[in-house]
Amino acid sequence: MIYIHVPFCRSFCTYCDFYSEIAPKECGGILGSWQDSMLKEIESRKDEISAPAEVKTLYIGGGTPSVLPLSVLGSIVSAIKALCPDGFMEFTVEVNPDDVTPSYASGLRDLGVDRVSMGVQSFDDGILRWMNRRHDSTGAVKAFHTLREAGFGNISIDLIFGLPQLSDVLWADTVSKALALAPEHVSAYQLSVEGGSALSEMLEKGEWEEAPEDLCRRQYGFLCAELAKNGYRHYEISNFALPGREAIHNSAYWRRVPYVGLGPGAHSLIRSAGEERRVWNTETLSGWTREGEILTPEDIRAERIMLGLRTSDGMEISELESLAGKDAVLALEREGALVEFGNDGESVPGMIRIPEDRFFVSDEIIRELI
C-alpha cells in the first residue's frame, strides 16, 4: 500500500486541518522543489515501495491532487510504477470537481488511474459557499459525468452532514442528487471541528455553533436508510459501496495492513523485526524529514479494537475477547451494542460487530472496550 500526500490547494475549506499550502499557478519554483523532493523520497524508500505486500494499491490524496499539472503528477506516478512492475489492485486519485475537464480526466486514465474520489460535500450552493469550496452543485454534476465519459467505472463521492444550517430537507435533496448520479461508492462524514481550521476559530469567536446531536443522528440515519434502499452496502461507519466496490486501499487501513506514506505530512505503518512503528514526514514543501515512534502493545491493542469495530465485518470474537476481556464484550452484547450477525441479519460464526443502528455511537462503545 502506497499513499502520496499532495500538499496543495487552490483555497482552504472552512473545516479542513490537513497540511496544505496554496498551489502555485505555474510549474517550477515551489512546485518544482516539491516534485524534486518527492522523487528523492521515492528513490530513498525504493526498498519499502517495491517490497512484496499483502495489498498493492496506490492512493494519491491531499490537499487537492487535481491541482497538479498532469506532467508533474505523471513524473511521480512513473517513478512509483517503475518500482511496482506488477501494477496495482487499485489506483485512486482525489479530485476537486472544479479541476475535472475532459482532457484532465483523460490524462488520469492514461496514467492508469482506475478509481476517482471526488470531494462533492454538498449539492447546495449556499452550503458550498459557506464551506469555501471552489465548485458549485452544477459543476459537481458536470464533473461526475465528465469522469464517466472518460471511462471511469469506479467513482466515489464525499458528502458532509451535521451542519446546523443543513436542514433535513436540504440533506434529503443532497442524498437524492447523489443517488441520481449512481456512484459506485459514497463516503459521508459528520462535520467535526478540527483544531487549526477556520471553523475552529469561528467557534471560538462565537461566530458559529455546532449542530445538535439529534440533527446529526437523524441525518446519519436517513443516509443509511436511503443508501440501503438503493443497494449500497454500509461496510464501514462512514463508507458505503455497491457490492464489490468497497475501497481496497482504505479497507486495508482498517485491517492495519502496513503502508508507505510519501510526501510532507504523510504517515506510514511499518512492521519489521518484531515491532511496529508509526512514521511521519515533517510538514514542509521540500526537504522534509521522517520522524516516528515504536507502537507499544497498548497502542496496538487500542488500534486493533478501534479499527476492527469500524467495519461491518467486525472482528473475531476470540480476538476481541483477548483484547478487551470477555466480561466487557458480554456486557455490551447484552445491551445490543455488539452482535454476532452481519448486514443481512444472518449469523456469522465466530465474528462480532457493532450493529448499524449503533454505528452513530460507535465511539462510545469502542471506548468502553479500550
Domain boundary (221, 253, 285) is at 253
Q: What is the pLDDT of residue 67?
A: 93
> Is 289 inside any structural domain?
no
pTM listed for this prediction: 0.93
* 36: in domain: yes
Quote the pLDDT of residue 7. 92
Residue 16: per-residue pLDDT: 67
Residues 187 and 331 in one domain: no
For residue 321, the model assigns a pLDDT of 95
Are residues 321 and 228 part of one domain?
A: no
Q: Kindly tell me the burial class for residue 118, based on how many C-beta atoms sit within 10 Å of its own C-beta (0-12, 13-18, 19 or more).
A: buried
Query: What CATH code is carried by the domain that includes residue 174?
Result: 3.20.20.70
CA distances from 332 to 77, 319, 356, 365 (A): 46, 15, 15, 8
pLDDT per residue as tens, the chain (370 positions): 999 999 998 776 677 676 767 777 777 688 999 999 999 999 999 999 999 888 999 999 988 999 999 999 999 999 999 999 999 999 999 999 999 999 999 999 999 999 999 999 999 999 998 888 888 999 999 999 999 999 999 999 999 999 999 999 999 999 999 999 999 999 999 887 777 777 777 777 787 778 899 999 999 999 999 999 999 999 999 999 999 999 999 999 999 999 999 999 999 999 988 899 999 999 998 889 999 999 999 999 999 999 999 999 999 999 999 999 999 999 999 999 999 865 555 556 789 999 999 999 999 999 999 8
Residue 283 lies in a domain: no
The reply to whether 201 and 331 lie within a common domain is: no
Let me know whether 249 and 303 are in one domain: no
Residue 249 included in any domain? yes
Instruction: Report if residue 270 sits inside a domain.
Output: no
Predicted local confidence at residue 28, as pLDDT: 66
Kindly report the three-state secondary structure assignment for every residue of the chain. Answer: CEEEEECEECCCCCCCCCCCEECCCCCCHHHHHHHHHHHHHHHHCHHHHHCCCCCCEEEEEECCHHHCCHHHHHHHHHHHHHHCCCCCCEEEEEECHHHCCHHHHHHHHHCCCCEEEEEEECCCHHHHHHHCCCCCHHHHHHHHHHHHHCCCCCEEEEEEECCCCCCHHHHHHHHHHHHHHCCCEEEEEECCCCCCCHHHHHHHCCCCCCCCHHHHHHHHHHHHHHHHHCCCEEEECCEEECCCCCCHHHHHHHCCCCEEEECCCCEEEEEECCEEEEEEECCCCCCCCEEEEECCHHHHHHHHHHHHCCECCCEEHHHHHHHHCHHHHHHHHHHCCCECECCCCCECCCEEECCHHHHHHHHHHHHHHC
CATH code for the domain of 363: 1.10.10
| Number of domains present in the structure of the chain | 2
Q: For position 345, what pLDDT does the model report?
A: 52
Which residues constitute the domain of residue 305? 296-370
